[in-house]
Structure 1
């Protein structure tokens, strides 16, 4: 009998390593694949786009906020992987009637390392998990050396429109902004505050405005509209996956961040 706690502190007991996995978190689906667990994944969300071929080889069981409960039940999973931010407490509670629901909670890079270690123990792939944590440790160290002499700038990271919303405090996005030497002007607000554009200069007057590709796909007209309310800010479209997807995606994110800083220099 193996007993392990998830990142919400819930204790789970397993006779054997789970071998029928449903993942309701796109970034964690990618991580499971990268840990060599493709054959054990039986269900994913419609937003699980990496690697792309999984959409045609695995059962789609809904989204992250709306799921097909009966489809999941019929798949007879051993475990369902959820995330505190991506999936609601109501979804987790209902799914717990089917099988154990493992919930991750990723706010920091440290949490990300912990999740990978946990998956290594949970799915008996400790060696692969350690390899990924070693790669990420090296890449993090390398990036910290790269970033140490780069000027700190104030930034706002927009995630939604109608209403406009930005990343605030206690979010993984905020953590990665800090890592990149960006001071989040909404870092003292709730996790995802609604933004009044006309107050943006008073609330921090950012040097940079990042418009994310997800969950809302910002367009040029949005950049123009937001830009009218800033003093001198440069507006940049950024790949939302690199700032908000945890798991193995972080390795690609470090390379992306270097390219982003090169763009900002020009």
Structure 2
């Protein structure tokens, strides 16, 4: 028997190591795969696209915000892996009637490393987890050396259109923006504020406008639309997975950020 506490402070007790896992978060599905848990994964969301072959070998149980409870129940999971931001409290409460729901809460890189360590303990994959923690720490320290002499630039990071919404504060995207020396002009406006384009110069006059590839697929016409309201800002399309996916993806993200800085300079 093992007792472990998730990142929401909920204590879970397991008679034995969970062997049937449902994952409700794409980045966490990728991490579970990278920890060697492909066989144990029985259910994933339609957004769990890495690695791609899982979509044809695992049961699809809906999305992150709308799950199919009966499909999950029929999979007879031992544990469901969720996330505070991706999945609603109502979903977690309903799924808790089926089996324990382990909820992560990732805002900082340290939170991310804690999640990896927790999964190592939960699923008896401590050695694999430690390898990913070491890889992440090494890449993190290397990137901090790379970024040390880069000047700070003001930035806006858009995640949605109609209405336009940006990444604000108290989320993983903002932490990675700060790490990259990008000063988020919306970091006092809440977590994901709605934005009036005509006020963008008044609210911070960014040097850079990032248009993320997800959750909204921004296109050239949106860059032109935003560009009408900015003065000197450079508009850059960025890979949203690199800024918002935690777990093992972060190792790849640090290399991506180096390339991004070369692009913008």
> TM class by shorter-chain length?
over 0.9
Tell me how far apart the structure 1 counterparts of residues 221 and 36 of structure 2 sit (CA, whole Å).
42
How far off its partner does 1:177 sit?
A: 0.1
**Superposition pairs for residues 74-223 of structure 1, below 5 Å?**
74-223=74-223
- 1:38-65 CA deviation, whole Å, 9 max, x = no partner? 0000000000000000000000000000
Q: How many Å separate the matches in 2 of 1:155 and 1:93?
A: 37
1:19 is aligned to 19
The total of aligned residue pairs comes to 265
Counterpart Cα distance in 1 of 2:146 and 2:200: 30
Q: Aligned partners of 1:264 and 1:215: how far apart in 2?
A: 23
Deviation at 1:151, TM superposition (A): 1.2
SS in structure 1 at match of 2:200: helix
The runs of at least 4 consecutive aligned structure 1 residues that moved more than 4 Å come to none
Q: How does the TM-score come out when normalised to structure 2?
A: 1.00
Distance 2:55 2:77 in 1: 18
- 5+ unaligned residues in a row in structure 1: which ranges? none
Instruction: List per-residue Cα deviations over 1:186-209 (Å, max 9, x = no partner).
Output: 011110000000111010000000
How far did residue 231 of structure 1 move? 1.0
Q: For the residues of structure 1 that align with 2:175 and 2:256, how far apart are their CA atoms?
A: 16
Aligned to 2:51: 51
For residue 80 of structure 1, give the secondary structure of its aligned residue in structure 2. Answer: strand
Task: Give CA-to-partner distance per residue, 1:4-47, whole Å, 9 cap, x none.
Answer: 00000000000111000000000000000000000000000000
**Unpaired stretches in structure 2, ≥5 consecutive residues:** none
Q: Structure 1 length as normaliser, TM-score?
A: 0.99
How many Å separate the matches in 2 of 1:110 and 1:224? 37
Q: Which residue of 1 aligns with 2:65?
A: 65
Q: Please give the secondary structure, in 2, of the residue aligned with 1:217.
A: coil
CA distance in 2, matches of 1:81, 1:193: 27
Separation of aligned partners in 2, 1:197 and 1:264: 22
In the alignment, the residues of structure 2 paired with residue 140 and residue 70 of structure 1 have an alpha-carbon distance, to the nearest angstrom, of 41
CA distance in 2, matches of 1:142, 1:8: 31
Whole-Å separation in 1 of the counterparts to 2:72 and 2:225: 42
SS of the residue aligned with 2:39? helix
- Take 2:264 and 2:161, find their aligned partners in 1: how far apart are those partners? 24
